[in-house]
Structure 1
Amino acid sequence: MRNMTKRSVVVASAVAVSVVGAGAAWAAWSLTGTGAANATAGSAAELTVTNVTVTQLTPNVTGNVVLTVNNPNPFPVRVTGFTFTGLTKGQGEDCNVGANITFPTGTLSSTPADLLVPAKVGASNGTKTITYTGSIRMKADADDNCQGAVFSFTTGVSANSEA
């Protein structure tokens, strides 16, 4: 049997530490984790229509309705259509509104950017001014009583969220 010298003990110790260290490196564990989550979908806020102007109406003229759409949502929307309801005349005027004013199907712009209302940014609603061409008309033989009459109506918009 061989006697252990001081040098042999140091070498043996170094070999033992190397082996134990290598074993520790090989003994690392892989870990994963999971957790439960919930997400709640928000609700869309209604658009509003402001600053509605109309081409001056005269017999046999089809005019335009220009309006501003306000979007209070955090996502952009694309306007897809308009509605006009509740047509009335000013008090004391004798113009038969229903018989003299119509809302033909007008033309919306075919340029996508013209109908895109941007998203709300900070405290400011997204806004877009849109012209609905050929969407209001006074008939050719309108009553004489319609001269100077003021007409009122409600304008509605429909839109879809935009990606």
Structure 2
Amino acid sequence: MRKITKRSAAVITAAVVAVGAAGAAWAVWGVNGVGTASASAGNVLPLGVGTAITLNPPAFFPGSQHSVAFTVTNPNPFPVEIQGITITDIDSGSAACADDNVLAVAGATPAAGAVLEIPANTTIPQSVTYNNAIRMIADAANGCKTVPFTFKVNVQAGSDATDPAPVAP
């Protein structure tokens, strides 16, 4: 077996110290940690639906079918897309004209070019029109002449938000 000289011992000691220092340096930079976070989803606010009017023609007569125009505002911090409407609570307000002389039409469709995307935080009403949404029956009672009907337009909508673009690391 060879005898270790002072010089060899010094070289070996320097090598061990260098490797140890490199390991210590790695330990300093290789730090990890885990934390706990929480978040909650925001509240959804109802859309504002303005007064609806009938179009083409504006007045009911036996057998007539009408488009309905109304306005929508969106107070939510995300855009929405109108997916459909339903007409409810049709009321003649007249004993001489039953409410069921005017009916909602199932499957009404948006007019060509109708605004269906309502931007986030919209305070300026957006006009929306649905074709052939309400009608008067063909054999409407004679007592329905000149009777003003009221009804509600219920708007169904969903979030039209898009995922943000990925952020480069």
* TM-score normalised according to structure 2 size: 0.68
Amino acid at match of 2:41: A
Structure 2 partner of 1:43: 43
Matches of 1:151 and 1:61 in 2, distance apart? 14
**Residue in 2 aligned with 1:103?**
104
8 Å contact kept, 1:77–1:162: yes
State how many pairs are aligned.
Answer: 138
1:112 positional shift = 8.8
Conserved 8 A contact 1:54-1:66:
yes
Give, in whole Å, the separation in 1 of the partners of 2:114 and 2:142. 41
Mark the CA change 1:51 to 1:110 in structure 2 (over 3 Å): closer, same or farther: closer
After superposition, the Cα gap between the structure-2 partners of 1:111 and 1:60, relative to the gap in structure 1 and judged at 3 Å, is closer
CA-to-partner distance for each residue in 1:61-101, whole Å, 9 max, x for gaps?
1101111122111011111121222111135x622221x21
Which residue pairs with 2:135 in the alignment?
137
CA deviation digits over 1:104-145, x for unaligned, max 9?
12432387973111111xxx5364221110011112232222
**Fraction of identical pairs, as percent:** 36
Give 1:119's aligned amino acid.
A
Q: Which runs of 5+ in 2 are unaligned?
A: 1-17, 162-169
TM (norm. structure 1) is 0.71
Is the 1:118–1:128 Cα contact (8 Å) retained in structure 2? no
For the 8 Å contact 1:116–1:128, the answer to whether it is kept is no
